[in-house]
Structure 1
Amino acid sequence: MPVDFLGIATTSNASETQVPTTAPLDLRYLERIVRAHEDNGWTRVLFAYGSSGPEPSVLAAHAAARLDSIELLLAHRPNVSYPTFAAKSFATLDQLSGGRLSVHFITGGNDHEQQREGDTLTKDQRYARTQEYIQIVKRAWTSAEPFDHDGEFYQFRDFVLDAKAVDGRSPTISFGGSSDAAYRVGAAEADIYAVWGEPLDRTAEQIARIRREAAAAGRTTPPRIHAAFRPIIAPTEELAWEKAHRILGAIEARKAAAGGVLSRRHSIDKPENAGSQRLLEIAAQGDRFDSVLWTATAKATGGAGNSNALVGTPEQVAEALLAYYDLGVSVISARGYDLLDDAIDFGRYVIPLVRDEVAARDAARTAA
């Protein structure tokens, strides 16, 4: 089973530990960080979405025109456009990039953040809308004939997409979430299901749930599983933990300087989304799990996004990632706190170790 690696594409060097020293939209920095991933073995980069951030599809188009091989994962919220327009935009970007586009659909776990762009639906309504939206996009990508649609959220007549994705492909769809509604919709519709890095036993529970929901939806092949971590690596275990505690101190210092918050998008102590609630619940049980999983960073950030760390030498972190691979994780998202340098180091020192061992395991299975 192949293993893919997902990094981050961003126009600023801001992170939980880093006050930005770039402009909010620094295209030179964007090109540098995407090229760093392309040159160091990563499969694709994510263009994230936020209500106040730059529009990610435009940034993805900019990167596609300047870099030749890195794949592009575009985050998209269904509330910001009509699905026929989105299907057309995605197909156009796939053509522009030569078939390198994937789309990550975000339903939204924070009511306030959604309302910033006029989305007043409840969480369950948002998931129902997302499912209808994805189904329309898929049909638009594949239908050779005009079609009508009469749904709960969208109605239109006689739509057909003339310019489809490269070679008539359907770009890969990824999806994430840890609520009952998320499992149900994502397992039914997505090619890749994304979860945040949790202890191995909790990750195994999520994978089992996703597979059950996929089977209940009538799928014979469940989604691939994507798990996300914050790697903290150094040449020795001692140095890695020293680095980890410096990072935690920097997070706390930034939080204190900002009055106890890190982001307008996320509450430190009362997150609304189920994924962050899970991370905080795990962190309350302890700060170290399995071999190198560290939850202190998740606790400090309120379980914001991808926030559990893997701390150790490249060999220790690679070994930990292989344990997730053995559970069924085949897409690994990794983002450091020094976005550019950590992307280079992880690509140089961890990705080859994981890929070589995965290839050896696959060869052994084939031989057996």
Structure 2
Amino acid sequence: MSVEFIGSLFTHDNSEIHPHRTPIVERDYLRRIARAHEDGGFDAALIGYGSERADGVVTAGHAAAQTDRLRFLVAYRPGFVAPTYAARTFASFDLLTEGRLAVNVVSGGSEPEMNRDGDYTTKEERYARTDEHLDIFRAIWSGQAPLSHQGRFYRFDDLRAQVQPHQPGGIPIYFGGSSPAAIRVGAKHADNFMLFGEPLAETAQRIAEIRAAATAAGRSTPPAISASFRPILGATEELAWERAHWVVDRINHSGFTKRNGDRRGGTLTVGGQRLVDAAARGERHDRALFTATATAAGAFGNTTALVGTPETVAAAILDYVDIGVTSFLIRGYEPLKDAIDYGRHLIPLVRSELAHRQRTGQSAANPPDAPLPVAAGALGR
């Protein structure tokens, strides 16, 4: 089997451990981090959405010009532009890059953040709107013409969408969320359902819920599953854990949690609350999962870490593969440096073990106490 690795692109040097002190858009930094992902063997890179961020499609267009094969997962909030226009925008990008686009649909969890962009809908309204929005995307990308629609949120007549995606099945839809509404809508529409990095048992339970919801929605094939982690690597276990606690200290002293709590009105998403609950049960879970980073960062976004040597973290990733995860969003607390390290030391180990399993017909080859072969080279600092 194959596993997809997704990184994250930023337009400036910024993370929970050091607030940005540079312009919000630095072309050279975007070029460097995009090239680091391509050279490191990542399959794709996420470009997030926020009311204070640069536009995702424009950012992806600049990064695409600096790379040859890296795909882009562009975060998108339904509701701010008409679905007919958005479908045409994404199809145009996909055509011009010959299939290097996927869309991460984010219905929106923080109402203060949504309000900044002029959206005052309730959570249930947002998910109902997303459902209709994605129905329209699928219809347009299927080539139906002329196409008319009259729904709760959108109405149009006689649309003739001549610009179609390069990818024959349409542009892949990635979808995240933990609320019942998110699971219902995501299980219906998503090609890939994205989860925060929870312990193995909870992740297996979430996968079962998503698959059941997909069956209830009439799907014969459920969405693929993605899990999101913040790997913290070290040349030895001791150095990795020393760095992990250094990251927690830096988050605590950066003011990140207060700034983001104030901006979001102090609210947590359902997924963020799940991370807090996992942390309350203990800082360390399974082989390498560390939840103290999530606690320090206020569980805003994917903030749990996998800590250890590259061999330990690769084995931990494979533990998630063994329960049905096939895609991993990995980004670091030092984004550029960590992307380089993941490409040199982590991704090759996972791919090598999966190739070994395929050659030998083995599966679940690494029980919790079994190490992987040692990675080549040395971790940078």
**CA drift at 1:17:** 0.5
1:259 positional shift: 8.5
CA distance in 1, matches of 2:96, 2:324: 32
For the aligned residue pairs, the C-alpha RMSD in angstroms reads 1.5
Are 1:338 and 2:334 an aligned pair? yes
Deviations 1:171-216 (A, max 9, x none): 1110000010111100110000000000000000100000000011
Contact 1:61 1:96 survives alignment (8 Å): no
Q: Is the 8 A contact 1:266 1:304 kept in 2?
A: no
Give 2:204's aligned residue.
204
How far has the Cα of 1:112 moved from its partner? 1.0
User: Judging changes above 3 Å, is the alpha-carbon distance between structure 1 residues 81 and 319 closer, same or farther for their aligned structure 2 residues?
Assistant: same
After TM superposition, the score normalised by the length of structure 2 is: 0.92
Alignment of 1:131 onto 2:131: yes
Count of aligned pairs between the two proteins: 363
Give, in angstroms, the shift of residue 261 of structure 1. 2.9
| Separation (CA, whole Å) in 1 of partners of 2:261 and 2:196 | 19
Contact 2:268 2:299 in 1 (8 A): no
Aligned to 2:177: 177
Within 1, Cα distance between the matches of 2:38 and 2:331?
15
Shift of 1:364: 3.4
Classify the secondary structure of the residue corresponding to 1:350: helix
Structure 1: any 5+ residue segments left out of the alignment? none
Q: C-alpha displacement at 1:169, in angstroms?
A: 4.0
- 1:312 equivalent to 2:305? Answer no
Q: Give 3-state SS (helix, strand or coil) of 1:182's partner.
A: helix
CA 1:364–1:188 in 2, change beyond 3 Å: closer, same or farther?
farther
Matched, 1:235 2:235: yes
Residue 281 of structure 2 is aligned with which of 277, 281, 285?
A: 285
Q: Does 1:324 align with 2:320?
A: yes
Deviation at 1:358, TM superposition (A): 1.4
Q: Note if 1:6 corresponds to 2:2.
A: no
Q: Structure 1 residues 103 and 170, CA, compared in 2 at 3 Å: closer, same or farther?
A: same
2:298 to 289, 302, 308: 302
Displacement, 1:361?
2.0
- Check whether the contact 1:11–1:29 (CA below 8 A) recurs between aligned residues: yes
TM-score when scaled to structure 1?
0.95
* CA distance in structure 2 between the aligned counterparts of 1:46 and 1:298, rounded to whole angstroms: 20
State the Cα deviation string for residues 58-104 of structure 1 (Å, max 9, x = none): 01111112211101111100022100000000000101211110001
The one-letter code of the counterpart of 1:195 is L
Deviation (angstroms), 1:167: 5.5
The answer to whether the Cα contact below 8 Å between 1:228 and 1:332 also exists between their aligned partners in 2 is yes
Aligned equivalents of 1:364, 1:129: Cα separation in 2: 47
Unpaired stretches in structure 2, ≥5 consecutive residues: 364-381
The 2-side partners of 1:38 and 1:289 are apart by 31
Distance in structure 2 (CA, Å) of the matches to 1:193 and 1:281: 21
8 Å CA contact retained: 2:289, 2:306: yes
Cα distance in structure 1, aligned partners of 2:53 and 2:20: 14
